[in-house]
Amino acid sequence: MSRGNGLKIFSGTAHPEFSKRISEELDIPLSDIKHYRFSDGEIGVSLNESVRGSDVFIIQSTCYPTNENIMQLLIMADAMRRASAHYVNAVIPYFGYARQDRKAKPREPITAKLVANLLTHGGIDRVVTADLHAGQIQGFFDIPVDHLTGMKLLAAYFKEFLHDELKSGNVVVVSPDAGGVARARKFAVMLDTDIAIVDKRRSYDVANKSEVMDIVGNIKDRTAILVDDLIDTAGTICHAAKGLKERGSGKIYACATHAVLSGVAMERINKSEIEKLIFSDTVPIPSEKKSDKISVLSIAPLFAESIRRIHNEESISNMFE
């Protein structure tokens, strides 16, 4: 049994290569849509085929430029709804504003909730995303949210890449801060190894700035894998790598699902103690941000399978058992 009269996939302009990969995995061509701008900069879209009664999936990462990509997603959803699509699903590989999920100090917004409201009231029936910065963001929505993870993809890479060292017990998974301990523990279980934690102090007077304080766990002469959900300015991950090296760690690798890489990120990464950094392809990496230290794995097959299961009304959770 499937939903609607047929499955259609539309791509936003945030990451068209990712949309194409999903299309190829599902062996379904991308549906025809025209993206354009009016002379004053306003965004416009035109659907060049019927979506009446269809199960529609809009693929759009809300990465940089975040505001533009969110607005385009909302406009696309409105076009689908007004064209009588049966279901409108937003596939958001990287969910922007996820770090603004609480009030860190007085008189601040909770922007992740605001974005959830905009998507819900903008006519979207379901959201599919990966590795939200805070899992509780799922509860900000009044519609179903399928929360995928790139951790298995990244773990599979290291199982092969560090096979001998893992077998000898010389690898430790490291959380770059206390907030990522649960993620690091799950990753360590996948690799059948133990974890260490970087205890850091963050300065809230300066955004994206933190200071390494201490490391909990045995990292002496061991290969370390730093694990995070995203890397933005790379301050946290590079400071953690420096702290590990200063305290006697062996080779240091790092991985994250989302390659946000803003500001001075590439300068920090290229100068850091990190040997290799592995990302998924939820965010496009422009040519000027590519580096010999960075490798990208495609998470598109996971998203494609989730789309297929949603359309066929099959279980998503079974994918992770």
For residues 70 and 305, what is the distance between their CA atoms, to the nearest angstrom? Answer: 24
In a domain, 1, yes or no: no
Range of the domain at 230: 151-297
CATH number at residue 60: 3.40.50.2020
* pLDDT confidence of residue 204: 55
Question: Hey, what amino acid is at 239?
Answer: H
Residue 168, in any domain of the structure: yes
pTM over 0.85: yes
Q: ω into residue 284 within 30 of 0, thus cis?
A: no
Structural domain includes residue 2 = no
Same domain membership, residue 54 and residue 124: yes
Same domain for 111 and 127: yes
**How is residue 121 written in tokens?**
């009231």
Q: Is residue 63 part of a domain?
A: yes
Cβ-based burial of 81 (10 A; exposed 0-12, middle 13-18, buried ≥19): middle
- Position 169, amino acid: G
Number of domains in the chain: 2
Statement to judge: residues 77 and 201 lie in one domain: no
Kindly report the backbone phi and psi dihedral angles of residue 25, in degrees, each rounded to the nearest multiple of 5, phi listed first.
-65, -40
Residue 120: inside a domain, yes or no?
yes
* 177 and 293 assigned to the same domain: yes
HSE, CB side, 13 Å, CA atoms: give it for residue 40: 1
Same domain as 166, residue 136: no
In a domain, 136, yes or no: yes
Q: How far is 43 from 248, CA to CA, in rounded Å?
A: 53
pLDDT at 178: 86
Do residues 219 and 285 both lie within one domain?
yes
Parallel, antiparallel or unpaired: strands 55-59 and 87-92 = parallel
Give the pLDDT of the chain (321 residues) as one tens digit per residue: 677 779 999 999 999 999 999 999 999 999 999 999 999 999 999 999 999 999 999 999 999 999 999 999 999 999 999 999 999 999 999 999 999 999 989 999 999 999 999 999 999 999 999 999 988 999 999 999 999 999 999 999 999 999 999 999 999 999 998 889 999 999 999 999 999 999 866 555 555 555 656 899 999 999 999 999 999 999 999 999 999 999 999 999 999 999 999 999 999 999 999 999 999 999 999 999 999 999 999 999 999 999 999 999 999 988 876
Positions marked active-site: 200
Is 193 within the bounds of a domain? yes
Rg (CA), the chain: 20
Same domain, 157 and 142: no
> Are residues 22 and 138 both part of a single domain?
yes
Q: What is the pLDDT of residues 232-280, one digit of tens each?
A: 999 999 999 999 999 999 999 999 999 999 999 999 999 999 999 999 9
Residue 263 lies in a domain: yes
The reply to whether 125 and 187 lie within a common domain is: no
Question: Do 57 and 138 lie in a common domain?
Answer: yes
Render pLDDT for 17-62 as a digit per residue (tens, 0 to 9). 999 999 999 999 999 999 999 999 999 999 999 999 999 999 999 9
Q: Does residue 46 sit in the same domain as residue 89?
A: yes
Tell whether 100 and 213 lie within a shared domain. no
As given in the structure block, the two tokens for residue 24 are 């190829």
